[in-house]
């Protein structure tokens, strides 16, 4: 992924609401399923790491991206953004 594509996705994520929350239990089976479903439906999602979570945003993003085959877009503070094109109906077109 080029820096131009990453910048385009970051700009899309600016207006998005957080839909994925990593809590005190860390990354479990339910969270992975929820993230997978959200990526298939939206292609780009924003998540946050709750204060009681043992993982940092960077660690959570890396783990989720490796597990789901997604691209890490950014992490700032406790928030992170990841992208994966939809397998059935890709809607976001990257140059």
Q: Each residue of 31-44: pLDDT tens digit?
A: 999 999 999 999 99
In the block, tokens 């959200």 appear at: 38
**Given a cut of 90, is residue 1 above it in pLDDT?**
no
* Arithmetic mean of pLDDT, 67-73: 95
pTM for the predicted model, two decimal places? 0.91
- pLDDT score, position 91: 85
Collect all residues with Cβ–Cβ distance below 8 Å to 15 and sequence separation of at least 6. Answer: none
φ, ψ for residue 86, nearest 5 deg: -65, 140
Measured N-to-C along each axis, helices 29-42 and 57-68 cross at an angle, to the nearest 10 degrees, of: 70
CATH superfamily name and code, 3-83: YhbY-like (3.30.110.60)
- Say what percent of the chain tops pLDDT 70: 100
12-60 pLDDT, tens digit per residue, is 999 999 999 999 999 999 999 999 999 999 999 999 999 999 999 999 9
Q: Beta strand 20-22 with 79-83: parallel, antiparallel or unpaired?
A: unpaired
Q: What residue spans define the domains of the chain?
A: 3-83
* pLDDT value, residue 36: 95
């Amino acid at each position: 992924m080029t820096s131009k594509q990453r910048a385009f996705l970051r700009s899309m994520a600016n207006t998005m609401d957080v839909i994925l929350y990593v809590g005190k239990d860390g990354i479990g089976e339910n969270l992975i399923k929820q993230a997978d479903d959200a990526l298939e439906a939206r292609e780009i999602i924003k998540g946050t790491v709750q204060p009681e979570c043992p993982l940092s945003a960077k660690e959570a993003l890396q783990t989720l991206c490796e597990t789901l085959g997604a691209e890490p877009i950014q992490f700032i503070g406790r928030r992170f953004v990841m992208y994966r094109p939809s397998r059935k109906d890709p809607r976001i077109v990257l140059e």
